[in-house]
Chains A and B, each alone.
Chain A
């Protein structure tokens, strides 16, 4: 898990970059799981990431970063496949542009509109040792495939006593608010998937993380559901390392150091947290940071509805590990417990204004 930051200057320039990475399953599942958000943060910025960051980089948006990662994954291993609805033409967001021309129709192809079939097909190919990167056109469409993910993919290794696995499987899917997507093109369904033992859930917060985490996900020996923030496809632009580059799964990234409160988020909500951190730093002198042991105060934020969202897991883990350091009740600023609305999207979202209110209240709590 990760945090936003003190950010006393320059945040406006960085706001689209997304500072926080998140490999959600890591918190509850694997070895990295053992790290609470706060503890993990202390270990963030893994060496490989820093090393890669020092190399040459190029300016990319999130869509281009995903495309770049897919090209690398296709190039390095002929068993990597890309398929989904309209993927051969580049996909509805153009993330798979150029792949079919370069790698051919037998590795990059369109599927019928059949989400359950797409994932089932991908699970079968992965069980045969292929590395399918299956696209579900919107995260809102993933539910017909839910059974294949939770019952087939996630349990394959366990139920075969380790004889089979579908570690080659990566399911890419765009998620999140986009301004006018309405009920079926805006949802953030990550918490349904973090509840599944056996898969990993990854939600990058910017182009750099998108590339590094997607390559790590495709190579990861476990099946991965990879949520891409579609609002950031074009709007988030930053320097991304050229060539092969990986960000390890399961490690949080500390955006900034500070003293007063710990902010945790993932995906495109990181960007909103950064803006809130900037505002309270400028106006209130509140500095935001990673370790709850240090700050004693925690705020978690996500677009998904608050009840049973992944924020609840973060708060629970912090309460477990940092209980004696807490100075205030942990706060959650999330979507309301309503369907994702169309005309009410601005009211529904956990905006900067709602965040700064909660930051101030939490910091003021005695």
Chain B
């Protein structure tokens, strides 16, 4: 069984850098890449009546958009480079969900870009990379 590494991916610049890093690393080690994208979601947030009504529809749209715009190009890029890759698309708390994905796949490491969110929200709520560094059960590579 080959090694597995999880790449936490979103549409930020540093995520692209993380993708490049993961590509080089996976090639060198012959590892399999699991590209994970987590849509931030809390079941305890407050929604308006219209948001409630449209939620199911929006969820479908969000999933489709993430799949098409985000994950497919990455998957193509990785397979062009001759790397075995799969994708995971989930809703949830980003860092916690990435940890779940690592555990479910018995991955050996995770690669993630440094700044996904804006600087202000990172300052207020802590960044994904920061919380992952604390919570991940495997080595974390944070790519600037």
Same assembly: no
Residues of chain A whose beta carbon lies under 8 Å from any beta carbon of chain B = none
Chain B residues packing against A (C-beta within 8 Å): none
